[in-house]
Amino acid sequence: MPIYLLLVGIPVLIGLAALAISSDERRPWILPFGFTVHAAAVSACWKSLPPAAASGWFYIDQLDLVVLSLSSALFVICSIYCLEYLRLRKDRHNRLFTACLSFILAAVTLVCVSRHMGLLWVGMEAATLAAAPLVHFNHNERSLEATWKYLMMGSLGIGLALLGTFFLALSALPYQGPGDPLVIDTLLSRAGTLSVPWLKGAFIFLLVGYGTKMGLAPLHSWKPDTYGEAPGVAGVILAGVVTSTAFLGILRAFQVCAAAGLADFARDLLVLMGLLSIATAAAFIIGQRDFKRMLAYSSVEHMGILALGVGLGPAGSSAALLHLINNGLTKGVLFLAAGNIHRAFGGKTMDHARGALRRAPISATLFLLGFVAITGSPPFAPFVSEFSILRAAVNGGRLGVAIGFVALLAVIFIGMATTVLSVVYGVPPDKESKQAARGDSPLLVAAPMAFMAGVVFLGLWLPGWLTSVLGDAARLLNGSQP
């Protein structure tokens, strides 16, 4: 139990400290310290998984470890970026921003360490609420509208997920055994006795509910406004952390379905939602003039790729989990570089931002490399995971899915290239916006460079320990012990 209290408690204490510190200048400095301590505690779990605690309500398996480690790493790197970003944003008080950033880490950690579906739901709801002040950080009409959309759609999603959790509990009735019927391990051990109609209903509601939090189509409508108006660092946390933990909620429901012999039913729905999301992204990314909204549709695409990968079976599941990591790192490059370009031009559309290589050369280069990586081009890490998902489709005899997948990726590549190349190359506008500011500074480019180093590293070499953990997690997911 102490390790679980430590993992959730550290970011809570950092958040409370942020609320207590009066100085806007000193407050952000507690983030790198606190998040590094959290990362060290997560690292200890890699040496040996901690035992279950509180009657099985808390435990970390390989699946949790992947999501928790990615989340912790993203927070540490983003905290470095925050030091300079919040220093430049002296026009805004950062008390709520820094506190809520810490509370999000506490909430997503709770999602990862919880084995109880009800407690997992509580963690997701807390993460949603804690992220809202980050979206509204700029305090203008557009950010207010984006925040309301985010909260309204998030509430819809979390309501559907709650209904799915109730259905899951009903599927276990009558229950007279030890422990709580909503603990994952209890559900898995009794999978053969669960009510099939209630379990199918539970998966559908959990898929749609947590899928809304992920931004799977057709419930993705909050993403363009939210990602478009939120600061770049908030975009990284939403696109790389909050969506990943929502995906974990879907994976838990899938795990129960697979154990109950309903794997094919769940996989078909995941493939459908995955392809629909990728197709939706392809349709809206063409002609997109706002490069931050373009990244939102790219996120819809990659959430679809995650769902598609798991829907293609064990081989696709392992690739999807690798893609979860690759997507988080690459979104770190893109959102932070896009935020730097936004500040350099005082605008985020192709009408305002042109010739970024001349005004913010390092950020523009990172933005260009991030585009190449996120579109699945070699030698970057997303190429490895997307190619593995494609291979799983071909080897599984799903040639129609494979052809559709490649065709949609090609459309998205063309659509993103049109926007990105226009922003990066060309001649900057003659008159600088009144809001324009310097885009490149050491701390502002260090964080996206660190993310890019990870993207290149995983594209060139996959460590054996990482492959082993991903394989174990995929086996757990599909109903076998690692």
pLDDT tens digits for range 1-38: 689 999 999 999 999 999 999 999 999 999 999 999 99
pLDDT at 348: 86
For residue 436, pLDDT beyond 70:
no
- What is the identity of the amino acid at 182? L
- Residue keyed to tokens 């509601």: 205
pLDDT at 480: 65
Name the token pair of 258: 């697979």
> Three-class SS of residue 110?
helix
Residue 131's contacts (CB-CB under 8 Å, 6 or more residues apart) are 100, 104, 150, 234, 237, 238, 242
Number of helical H runs and strand E runs in the chain? 20, 0
pLDDT at 441: 85
Please report how the helices 361-374 and 399-424 are oriented relative to each other, as an axis angle in degrees rounded to 10. Answer: 170
475 closest CA partner among 317, 320, 319 = 317
For residue 435, pLDDT beyond 60:
no
124 closest CA partner among 243, 302, 257 = 243
pLDDT bin (cut points 50, 70, 90) of residue 434 is very low
For residue 285, pLDDT beyond 50:
yes
CA terminus-to-terminus distance, the chain: 24
The per-residue pLDDT of the chain, averaged, comes to 93
Lowest-confidence region among 127-131, 167-171, 351-355: 351-355
pLDDT at 30: 96
For residue 482, pLDDT beyond 60:
no
pLDDT bin (cut points 50, 70, 90) of residue 181 is confident
For residue 430, pLDDT beyond 70:
no
> How many of the other CB atoms lie within 10 Å of CB of 39?
18
| b/e per residue 81-93 (b: at least 16 CB within 10 A) | bbbbbbeebeeee
- Phi/psi class of residue 38: alpha, beta or left (left: φ > 0; alpha: ψ in -120 to 50)? alpha
Q: Kindly report whether the global pTM for this prediction surpasses the value 0.85.
A: yes
CA distance linking residue 334 with residue 368, whole number of Å: 9
Lowest-confidence region among 6-20, 100-114, 446-460, 467-481: 467-481
Residue 319's contacts (CB-CB under 8 Å, 6 or more residues apart) are 309, 385, 386, 388, 389, 391, 392
For residue 438, pLDDT beyond 70:
no
Tell me the mean pLDDT in the region 276-282.
97
